[in-house]
Structures are given as structure tokens and as C-alpha cells.
Amino acid sequence: MGFLNKLKKLAQDGSDLAQQNVARFQNAGFADATMAACALISAADGSVSPEERRKTAGFIMSSDKLKAFDTNKLRTRYDEYCGKLDTDFDFGKIELMQVVGKIKKPEEARAVIQLAIVIGNADGTFDEHEQKVVRELVHALKLDPAEFDL
């Protein structure tokens, strides 16, 4: 199986698993971490374009994976986190990585990563910038990047 096919399979497997796992973790810390991860993926190339922000917000509002949460609250949190990245990317990124790093339960941490991979692949391309951000998230959560083929 080629690298691209492995990434697509990982994204699909992650999508299926994320949907199963996300519903189990209905708490504010997990919701914040997933929205911080979404904002970081949106800004993977150094900024959040209006188009990227709109597409990710649309995904948040319509995703079956997030239906266990109040999607309006999730979108508000996502917009707040994108705003932090827009205001000062470097400090915003540090703050959002700290939000993600608060997740201590390994199963919740894995679900955050799985959702980040789904978001990264939502446009059909899991590019090198998005992969780099996911690797950083994996390290912040003290997980093994090999577990996610990163």
C-alpha cells in the first residue's frame, strides 16, 4: 500500500474511530482540546484563511463525530481560538498547545488526534503542514507518532 493510500486509510479509520470515541468524552476539557486542535490544523500553514475557517466551522457544525456536543458552543470556541492565532500566531499557538496538553487520559488524547487527522484530511489532502501540526499535537499529548503513522 502506497504512502498516500495509507494516509487515506488512516484518515478513514480515524474518522470511524473518532466518531465512536468523541461521543464518550462529553466534557469541557475535551471539547476545548478538540477545538484548539481544529484551529491549529486550520492555521497549519501559518495563518487561518477565511476560506479555511469557513470550511472547518462548517465541518464542526455538520459533523456526526461532534453531534454529542452543542455545536454552536464548539464553533464559538473554535472562532475564539482562531482569533488568538490571528492576533498573535506564536503566542496563540503556545496557548492552544497548552489547552490540548491538558488532556491526560490516553483514550481522550487519541480521540483528539483522530479528530485532528479527520480535520486535516477534510479537504481530501493531508498536507505536510497539517501532518507537522498533528505530530506536534501527538507530542503535546505524550503519544507515539508511530501509532498514527506520522
Predicted local confidence at residue 20, as pLDDT: 53
DSSP labels, 100-135? HHT--SHHHHHHHHHHHHHHHTTTS---HHHHHHHH
* Domain count for the chain: 1
pLDDT for 133 beyond 60: yes
Domain that holds residue 45: 3-148
Per-residue pLDDT of 23-57, as tens digits, reads 555 678 999 999 999 999 999 988 888 888 888 88
Which has more pLDDT, 77 or 60? 77
CA distances for 87 relative to 21, 22, 51, 102, angstroms: 32, 30, 18, 23
Predicted local confidence at residue 11, as pLDDT: 54
CB atoms within 10 A of CB 122: 20
DSSP state of 27: S
The Cα–Cα gap between 92 and 101 comes to 14
CATH number at residue 117: 1.10.3680
Mean pLDDT of 102-120: 91
